[in-house]
Amino acid sequence: MTRPFHVLKFGGSSLGRPEPLRRALDIVREERARGPIALVVSALGDTTDELVEATAAAARGDFAAALSIVDRVEELAVKTVTDALGPTAAGLRDRVATATAPLRKIFAAGDREAVGRADARDEILSFGERLSAVVVAGALEATGVAARAIDARTWAVTDDRFSDATVLWAPTSRRLGELTREWTEADKQGVVHVHTGFIGATADGRTTTLGRNGSDYTAALLARGLGAGEVTIFTDVSGVMTADPDLVDEAYPVPHLSYGEALELAGLGLRMLHPRTMVPLIESGIPMRIRNTLRPEDPGTRVDAHGSRDTAKPTCITSLEAMALIDVEGSQRSEYAKIGARVGSALAAEHVPVWFETQAPRGNGIALAVAAADAEKASAIIGRTLEPEIARGDLAAPRVFVPITLVTLVAEAMGQTPNVAGRFFAALGAVGVNVRASSQGATSRAIVCAVDAEETAVAVRAVHAAFNLAREQVNVLLLGKGTVGGSLLQQMAGEREKLREQHDLDLRLAGLADSRTAVFDANGIDPARASELLAGGAPLDIDALLDRLKRLPVPVLVDCTAADGMETVYERAFARGIHVVAANKKPLALPLDARRHLFESVRRAHRAYRYETTVGASLPVIETLKNLVRTGDRVLLVEGSLSGTLGYLSNEVSRGVPLSQAVRAARELGYTEPHPRDDLGGVDAARKALILARELGVKLDLSDVKVEPFVPSELLEYDDVDAFFAALERYDATFEARIEGLRAEGLVLRYLARIEPEGADGPSVSVIPIGVPANHPATRLRGSEAFVAFTTERYSEYPLVVQGAGAGGAVTAAGVLADVLALSQSLRGR
Ligand SMILES: Nc1ncnc2c1ncn2[C@@H]1O[C@H](COP(=O)(O)OP(=O)(O)O)[C@@H](O)[C@H]1O
Ligand SMILES: N[C@@H](CC(=O)OP(=O)(O)O)C(=O)O
């Protein structure tokens, strides 16, 4: 028995450039050695688009422009083949000229009316494929493979719907039946047939085209007629990808699809396949494979009757653009009117294709999607059909939303997998995409929704990430590149690979801003180069940045500034669905009303606001306290050295270092704020104490915190840092005497916070410099260590103590990073 034919289709992308063309010719030679083959070719590169333009030019009467497009089309063919094969392609120019001569004749006739007719357009477009078949056959001959171009109009008999013709199978199969014998004989002689894709002819011989991407359809028909063993579609990607690779960088090829899935995909926007391609394959059971001409070793996608049984298989997302949504809303009175059926048949009668239709549960409202080009016509039809109800006021006049994109998720057996719709809509909601209408196919193979056209990329990326990415993507916009921000950038650069590989987390830096400038890139910025890029950044526009950030999966605003007024930025972030991680204490120490407002905006938006590093850098102080409160413990006293900076200074002066010198060193180590008086004044520690107190529900303001500065307040009046240090030097001796005095009493200087939520006179919060006895836990602090001791009902005998490094860029940045990671962890599975 002879082996069945293998039909190989090469798309325009495989033929319009020298390298893919050379590889395509190699593939043909290899496949021919295996058994009988038949080729189907599309027009080279963008030739069809060029011919569409030529038709339009001719219809305008600009025949010179049309003819110059023919020149370009010819030039592309000659140049591609010559570049691919060199001078071996002799006689090529003549063949090309012969193939396009009738086209030149059409344009040379200069008959505007004739070229404006629908059948003329198809005739003109057909030259792309006709030229291609001749050129590919010639190129094969030039490489020593006997080949013959076949014009598919000799066998593809179609209806007369120009530009979107359907092949009539009965006459087509008869013709193929007759021709197959002849082709089989020729094949035995080593002749390869190169068929034109995309075109056919009516029974009375008028040229038709099968709709854009129609060559796949031709290949499937030819395969059916030849009783082929398989069809391979060669293109410029390694198969059907999980999403359009132009929209989603992380899209990857799907190994296996069922005919049904491919049918849904092609029908709902997978622009690489013609929607009718699947029909002849389903009828004949012939499998199809989609492969990359430049990477023939890649397995590509197989499409067959079974699809994949792998429960963890990837899911495809498509988008169909240039659509319109027409909405008709009803009042209570029309509840039994069942308007959907009437509208559906009226549209069908006038040949307006409807992509999906949803009906209000009681049938008194509908929304349907049509091509944007059909919107006006469809709206008028609907208006006429529902005229009585609209006149009575039972129904509103149709509203048209345009342009709309249909975003579709396709997976066989979707109905058997729980929470697919939930995840789909949650993913869209999370990035703020408004779903205007939706529909889940009765086959449960597809779930479709209509979104505004401008949301297309965001919607597709969000759904793709939710279904197909094993790694969760987290997108950070970092504010501040100072001590903490700078360390965070370093840590993000250093940890990225480990987070990807070991924790399935794709942590991206989407943007960086300081108080004046910003850089942003939706595809991520290399954290190691971010500061350098910021130097050439754009002027800061925080709302514009937040608008861009909110379009990315898991958007997080990270505030590593110490700026005032950031609460308004957070509120704008929450309102846009962005999470916030902050090392900035100020928004938490706001007056009570403003703080309440901030937390209400968090709750309203259902976003996360994490701020562990505002007290004790990366020490788990706030989380510990929250857990005590959450689990019902009663906190009686919180005592701590909350300022790593003042802790460090206390240690330094206690071992004899002059105060001014110790402060200078602390500043250089990045322990202090830019102006050290902000630390020495105690306000920073007071803020931390207040933050903790408020976690306990204490309703006090910063002005209620009793603050005694680390040094006398007159020293804190110097705005100028140098003048401040000069004054501090003058005070060194007095301070040293004070330390000596404490030492004589067996005491050590510490700067302690005390929070008594249930004090005798109501809640109290204080921060004061104090001498503590040798047995006090605070005396054990080294360097910049901070400590917090919680005395509670459960921890009454010995307090629960958290202790460790409490200041410095690296530890604080690590705490911020930990907050970002904890946040992303808590969102998983949502
Ligand atoms: N889900 C998808 N999978 C693969 N390719 C896609 C997908 N969505 C859109 N495309 C686009 O389809 C292109 C291939 O189709 P097409 O341009 O018609 O190729 P050809 O000229 O080979 O027929 C790819 O280059 C890709 O940009
Ligand atoms: N050349 C036609 C038909 C086709 O199928 O092309 P391609 O295989 O390059 O998508 C078009 O551009 O629509």
With beta carbons less than 8 A apart as the criterion, state whether 801 and 788 touch.
yes
550: which 2 tokens?
A: 């909110």
Note the ligand closest to the C-alpha atom of 46: 2
Out of 102-106, 388-392, 399-403, least confident range: 388-392
CATH code of 316-468, in short, is 3.30.2130.10
Tell me which of 218, 233, 236, 272 to substitute to probe ligand 1's pocket, judged by most ligand atoms within 8 Å of the beta carbon: 272
Note the ligand closest to the C-alpha atom of 42: 2
Q: What is the predicted ipTM?
A: 0.98
Tell me the CA–centroid distance for residue 432 and ligand 1, in Å. 28
Which residues does 740 contact at the CB level (< 8 Å), separation at least 6? none
In this structure, what DSSP letter does residue 594 have?
A: H
With beta carbons less than 8 A apart as the criterion, state whether 240 and 316 touch.
yes
Q: How far apart are CA 375 and CA 382, in angstroms?
A: 10
Q: How far apart are CA 779 and CA 776, in angstroms?
A: 6
Going by pLDDT thresholds of 50, 70 and 90, the confidence category of residue 271 is: confident
Is it the case that residue 334 has pLDDT exceeding 60?
no
Q: What is the DSSP string of 330-372?
A: B-GGGTT--HHHHHHHHHHHTT---SEEEE-TTSS-EEEEEEG
**Residue 45, ligand 2, Cβ within 6 A:** no
**Residue 20, ligand 2, Cβ within 6 A:** no
Identify the residue whose C-alpha is closest to ligand 1 atom 15. Answer: 272
pLDDT at 142: 92
Tell me the CA–centroid distance for residue 363 and ligand 2, in Å. 41
Residue 395 or residue 28, greater confidence = 28
Give, for 375, the enclosing helix (H) or strand (E): helix 375-385
* Burial group, residue 349, by CB count within 10 angstroms (0-12, 13-18, 19+): exposed
Going by pLDDT thresholds of 50, 70 and 90, the confidence category of residue 416 is: low
Residues with CB under 6 A from ligand 1: 11-14, 42, 213, 235-237, 240-241, 243-246, 270-272
185: which 2 tokens?
A: 């004989």
**Which one is catalytic: 188, 377, 688, 706?**
688
Q: What is the pLDDT of residues 549-598, one digit of tens each?
A: 988 888 999 999 999 999 999 999 999 889 999 999 999 999 999 999 99
With beta carbons less than 8 A apart as the criterion, state whether 687 and 756 touch.
no
Is 621-806 a domain of CATH 2.40.110.10?
Answer: no
Identify the residue whose C-alpha is closest to ligand 1 atom 7. Answer: 244
pLDDT at 309: 79
Helical segments of 566-658, H only: 566-575, 592-605, 621-630, 644-654
With beta carbons less than 8 A apart as the criterion, state whether 202 and 208 touch.
yes
Is it the case that residue 113 has pLDDT exceeding 50?
yes
Ligand 1 nearest-atom number relative to CA 13: 21
Note the ligand closest to the C-alpha atom of 235: 1
pLDDT at 829: 42
Q: What is the DSSP string of 706-762?
A: EE--SS-GGGGG--SHHHHHHHHHHHHHHHHHHHHHHHHTTEEEEEEEEEETT-TTS
Has 688 been annotated as catalytic?
Answer: yes
Which residues does 298 contact at the CB level (< 8 Å), separation at least 6? 238, 239, 253, 291, 292
Tell me the CA–centroid distance for residue 246 and ligand 2, in Å. 18
Note the ligand closest to the C-alpha atom of 209: 2
With beta carbons less than 8 A apart as the criterion, state whether 223 and 281 touch.
yes
Mean pLDDT of 120-143: 96
* Burial group, residue 310, by CB count within 10 angstroms (0-12, 13-18, 19+): exposed
With beta carbons less than 8 A apart as the criterion, state whether 41 and 132 touch.
yes
- Give the residues across from 750 on adjacent strands: 770
Please tell me whether residue 194 adopts helix, strand or coil conformation: strand
Tell me the CA–centroid distance for residue 417 and ligand 2, in Å. 36
Which residues does 728 contact at the CB level (< 8 Å), separation at least 6? 659, 660, 663, 711, 715
Dihedral of alpha carbons 547, 552, 553, 554, sign: negative
Out of 80-89, 298-307, 488-497, least confident range: 80-89
Going by pLDDT thresholds of 50, 70 and 90, the confidence category of residue 830 is: very low
* CATH superfamily assigned to domain 472-616+816-827: NAD(P)-binding Rossmann-like Domain (3.40.50.720)
With beta carbons less than 8 A apart as the criterion, state whether 323 and 269 touch.
no
Going by pLDDT thresholds of 50, 70 and 90, the confidence category of residue 90 is: low
pLDDT at 249: 79
pLDDT at 691: 97
Tell me the CA–centroid distance for residue 12 and ligand 2, in Å. 6
731-753 CB burial, b ≥16 within 10 A, e <16:
bbeebeebbeebeeeebbbbbbb
Percent of the chain with pLDDT over 90: 73
Closest CA to 688 of 753, 623, 599, 597: 753
**CA distances to 1, 74, 163, 201, 479 from 104, in Å:** 47, 11, 21, 21, 62
Going by pLDDT thresholds of 50, 70 and 90, the confidence category of residue 411 is: confident
Look up tokens 């039946």; give the residue: 177
Q: Could you say which of 3.40.1390.10, 3.40.50.300, 3.90.550.10, 3.40.1160.10 is the CATH number of the domain covering 6-44+128-236?
A: 3.40.1160.10
- Give the residues across from 767 on adjacent strands: 707, 753
- Give me the amino acid identity at 231: V
Is it the case that residue 338 has pLDDT exceeding 80?
no
**CA distances to 469, 473, 522, 550 from 504, in Å:** 9, 9, 20, 22
Q: Taking CA 786 as the corner, what is the angle to CA 785 and CA 789, rounded to the nearest 5 degrees? A: 135
Ligand 2 nearest-atom number relative to CA 198: 3
Residue 725: how many other CB atoms lie within 10 Å: 16
Tell me the average pLDDT of the chain: 91
Dihedral of alpha carbons 126, 131, 134, 135, sign: negative
Tell me the CA–centroid distance for residue 214 and ligand 2, in Å. 6
Q: How far apart are CA 314 and CA 323, in angstroms?
A: 26
Mean pLDDT of 342-367: 86
Tell me the CA–centroid distance for residue 27 and ligand 1, in Å. 20
Q: How far apart are CA 600 and CA 693, in angstroms?
A: 19
pLDDT at 730: 95
Q: How far apart are CA 307 and CA 313, in angstroms?
A: 10
pLDDT at 335: 54
pLDDT at 246: 87
**Residue 212, ligand 2, Cβ within 6 A:** yes
Residue 384 or residue 1, greater confidence = 384
Q: How far apart are CA 674 and CA 350, in angstroms?
A: 74
Closest CA to 130 of 203, 87, 70: 70
Ligand 2 nearest-atom number relative to CA 214: 5
607-641 CB burial, b ≥16 within 10 A, e <16:
bbbbbbbbbbbbbbbbebbeebeeeebebbbbbbb
* Domain extent listing, the chain: 6-44+128-236, 316-468, 472-616+816-827, 621-806
